[in-house]
Amino acid sequence: MMPSLVPSSTVEAAVRFRRATRRFRPDPIQDGILERALELANWAPSGWNLQPTHFVVVRSPEQKRRLRAAVLGQKQVEEAPATVVFLGDLEAVRTHFEEVLRMDREAGANSADYEALLRKLVPLTFAAGPLGLGGLAKHLGVAAYGLFRPAPALSCLPAARRLWTARQVMLSAMTFMLAAASFGLDTGPMEGFDARRVREVVSAPRRMLPVVIVAVGTRAAEPKLTKTRLPLERKLHREQFTP
């Protein structure tokens, strides 16, 4: 039986009917709505609860113009009333770890034993050592260990750190887009941009990784009534991957 086209909840409606938007009307966003969507994005999960995601909201015409140049001229940046630059802190362990542990301790979220475990595992996973040599040594050691037993991926090499950070940021970005949809807003995510120039536009330090940029507002034209996806049966595998 085909599923009903009528959504059964706000979440289902946001998932089913959200579409990437390229043309926006200049209508301002109702006061407080953007902040509510960002607050929900701030509650997205992250590995070790390190919360590396930062949000830069761009609204001024001058900043929009500069940002549009950094995103290869994509006009939705200037058309939309606001654009959010999602950044990931590559040094989240240094900047957030102790504060997160303190907050969780005060909230009773972690036991003393679990906090002690985190203090061992997080540095082991992320610390690279002088000139990155410690990270390289750990990477090689884990690779050798993995020849014989299952081994976890570490984030102590630059490429692995960037990948880990991007994964966490995208969780927040998707949460933001679904939250915005539930509030009646349209969004347009952009991955085509010059990361260095984006950082310069928003005055972000080098440790901040631009991951995705999302224009938000009201679409300029009515959306099509349908969008397509490959059928779930094509992509659903049970117990094992089946070509």
Phi–psi pair at 89, nearest 5 degrees: -80, 110
Three-state secondary structure readout of the chain: CCCCCCCCCHHHHHHHHCCECCCEECCCCCCCHHHHHHHHHHCCCCHHHCCCEEEEEECCHHHHHHHHHHCCCCCHHHHCCEEEEEEEECCHHHHHHHHHHHHHHHHCCCCHHHHHHHHHHHHHHHCCCHHHHHHHHHHHHHHHHCCCCCCCCCCCCHHHHHHHHHHHHHHHHHHHHHHHHHCCCEEEEECCCCHHHHHHHCCCCCCEEEEEEEEEEEECCCCCCCCCCCCHHHHCCCCCCCC
149-175 burial, b if ≥16 CB within 10 A, otherwise e? Answer: eeeeebbbeeebbeebbbebbbebbbb
pLDDT at 121: 92
Measured torsion, CA atoms of residues 180, 186, 190, 196, in degrees rounded to the nearest 10? -60
Beta carbons of 181 and 187 less than 8 angstroms apart: yes
Span 54-75, mean pLDDT? 98
- For the stretch 85-95, pLDDT in tens is 999 999 999 99
pLDDT at 60 over 70: yes
CA 55/CA 100 separation, integer angstroms: 18
Span 25-51, mean pLDDT? 96
pLDDT at 7 over 60: no
pLDDT at 80: 98
Amino acid at 169: V
Provide the percentage of residues in the chain whose pLDDT is more than 90.
Answer: 74
Tell which residue, 70, 64, 59, 68, has the closest CA to residue 200.
70
What are the boundaries of each domain within the chain?
A: 10-90+163-235, 94-158
Quickly state the pLDDT bin for 223 (edges 50, 70, 90). low
Quickly state the pLDDT bin for 228 (edges 50, 70, 90). confident
Top-level class of domain 10-90+163-235: alpha beta
pLDDT at 200 over 90: yes
- For the stretch 98-156, pLDDT in tens is 999 999 999 999 999 999 999 999 998 998 888 777 777 777 777 787 778 886 777 88
pLDDT at 25 over 90: yes
Span 157-162, mean pLDDT? 92
pLDDT at 243: 86
Beta carbons of 77 and 71 less than 8 angstroms apart: yes
Three-state secondary structure readout of 101-152: HHHHHHHCCCCHHHHHHHHHHHHHHHCCCHHHHHHHHHHHHHHHHCCCCCCC
pLDDT at 59 over 90: yes
HSE, side-chain direction, 13 A CA sphere, residue 21: 26
